[in-house]
Amino acid sequence: MSYPLVAPSLLSADFGHLQRDIEMVNRSRADWFHLDIMDGLFVPNISFGFPVIKAIRAHAHKPLDVHLMIVDPDRYLDAFAEAGASVLTVHYEACTHLHRTLQTIREKGMKAGVSINPHTSVRLLEEILPVADLVLVMSVNPGFGGQKFIEHSYDKIRRLAAMIRETGSDTLIEVDGGVTLENASRLTEAGAQVLVAGNTVFASEEPEETIRRLKEA
């Protein structure tokens, strides 16, 4: 598998023409569909629920990378598995028993991811890396698309990459928030292997070309 993987965020798609945008991602060199699930409690926004996810799954030809920005995600692990999630990421800040949650996600046949907010130190993940397939570093405060990239994120990704090497795990590093054609190369140089891009892709006049350029970062 060649990195970076590119995961266009459907939160920035045109929901009036969602099937059109899904088919564009299918045609493109993108690797995953990124779905942000928000409950209005963990983050100050609400996105979409299971009917929309199942509709996306019906048309998507690539894995669904589902990012849960919700409280008590354990209640919904079965439902997201049934809805077709390939990767399921929960927030460190939302899980009381994170190790158990990640193990359960794996047991249900999905890759298990853990996400951290900008204020959360990567050091807090050291004990969990052996059971995490992916760590999602939020490079904006979660809840809304189109925010400005937090520059400190490069150092955070570098520290996380060093920790992964030290523990000998094969955990992937994903970055979400303010990813652009201008900073994609710096992110991959720092150690990011999965780039989530919303506005950068869907606001582009040539989204497939934008995805191609991100793939080559």
Which amino acid, residue 158?
R
Q: Are 73 and 95 in contact (CB under 8 A)?
A: yes
65 catalytic per annotation:
no
Taking CA atoms, 171 is separated from 95, 108, 165, 178, in Å, by: 19, 19, 9, 22
The candidate with the shortest Cα–Cα distance to 188, out of 150, 211, 157, 156, is 157
> Active site residue: 31, 36, 39, 65, which one?
36
**Residue 176 bears catalytic tag:** yes
Catalytic residue among 21, 65, 133, 176: 176
Amino acid letter, residue 135: V
State whether the Cα torsion 199-118-132-78 is positive or negative: negative
Q: Which residues are catalytic?
A: 36, 176
